[in-house]
Amino acid sequence: MRFTDKVVVVTGAAQGIGAVVAHQVAAEGGTVVLADRSDLVAEVAAEIAAGGATSRHFLCDLETYAGATDLMAYAMAEFGRIDILINNVGGTIWAKPFEHYEADEIEAEVRRSLFPTLWCCRAALPHMVERGAGVIVNVSSIATRSRNRVPYAASKGGVNALTASLAFEAASKGIRVVATAPGGTEAPPRKVPRNPNEQSAQEAVWYQEIVDQTTESTLFKRYGTLAEQAAPILFMASDDASYITGTVLPVGGGDQG
């Protein structure tokens, strides 16, 4: 029960890693605020509430600072504090060699995989500073060293730098800032795909190159599971990691990213 009496905001909580993390936080006694721009997040919140935990959901676009500030204001209005923020929004939209990306696609990748974390850190920080306590866990990626997704890699590299730099500033204020860097993860098909357009034959080849490189880069030669990704996030968020800050923990089966 590591999260008893803790208010935990989980972004990207409608599916995948975010949903698993939110369920587990609740199972360990936490009060959870689930955020997403998909209304599927309401179903996850309802499942958690049905299990007896306290949960809320909030629809917002975290690619904007307004969306992030609205989310934190909602959590504060509902519960009066934010103990833990888990930033889980992000993910590759396209998979192709860099020379094939259009300018608007590069900008979309950065808006998707860097700005939600940047905005949410900024929006939550004043509330944590005021209390003199808090934990921020950013979900990065080992794909900072990978192929066919340079804009995504650059975005997650930014998340790593944000984690390290903010940890320097925040430690004296009683706030830890850490990250995990998931590798390839087996998950059910996304209910809301990042790219709704059907892959062309060439795009399918480029994506398979990612799968092959990801599998070969791990020592276990397989993808991880959602549970294997959620567990390190929960550890880093908990008091078990109270002397860890500024650290990006690779969770890629030995692939260091």
The 10s digit of each residue's pLDDT in 179-228 is: 999 999 998 777 777 777 888 999 999 999 999 999 999 999 999 999 99
Lowest mean pLDDT among 81-85, 188-192, 220-224, 237-241: 188-192
Lowest mean pLDDT among 55-69, 146-160, 195-209, 213-227: 195-209
Q: What percent of the chain has pLDDT over 70?
A: 99
Sketch the domain layout of the chain as residue ranges: 7-251
Give the chain as a 3 state SS string: CCCCCCEEEEECCCCHHHHHHHHHHHHCCCEEEEEECCCCHHHHHHHHHHCCCCEEEEECCCCCHHHHHHHHHHHHHHHCCCCEEEECCCCCCCCCCHHHCCHHHHHHHHHHHCHHHHHHHHHHHHHHHHHCCEEEEEECCHHHCCCCCHHHHHHHHHHHHHHHHHHHHHHHHCEEEEEEEECCECCCCCCCCCCCCCCCHHHHHHHHHHHHHHHHHCCCCCCECHHHHHHHHHHHHCHHHCCCCCCEEEECCCCCC
Q: What is the mean pLDDT of residues 151-169?
A: 98
The phi, psi pair for 97, rounded to 5°, reads -60, 150
Res 31 pLDDT > 90: yes
Instruction: Of 137, 244, 214, give the one whose Cα is nearest residue 180.
Output: 137
Per-residue pLDDT, 114: 98
Res 82 pLDDT > 90: yes
Where residue 28 falls (left for φ over 0; alpha for ψ -120 to 50; beta otherwise) is alpha
Active site residues: 152
Q: How big is the CA angle at 245 (ends 139 and 178), to the nearest 5 degrees?
A: 5
pLDDT tens track for 70-80: 999 999 999 99
Per-residue pLDDT, 188: 79
Q: What is the mean pLDDT of residues 158-163?
A: 98
Q: What is the pTM of this model?
A: 0.95
* Spatial separation of the C-alpha atoms in residues 241 and 176, rounded to whole Å: 9
Per-residue pLDDT, 173: 98
Per-residue pLDDT, 257: 82
Q: 177, 163 in Cβ contact below 8 A?
A: yes
CATH of 7-251 given 3.40.50.720, 3.90.1520.10, 3.30.70.20, 3.40.50.970: 3.40.50.720
Mean residue pLDDT of the chain comes to 96
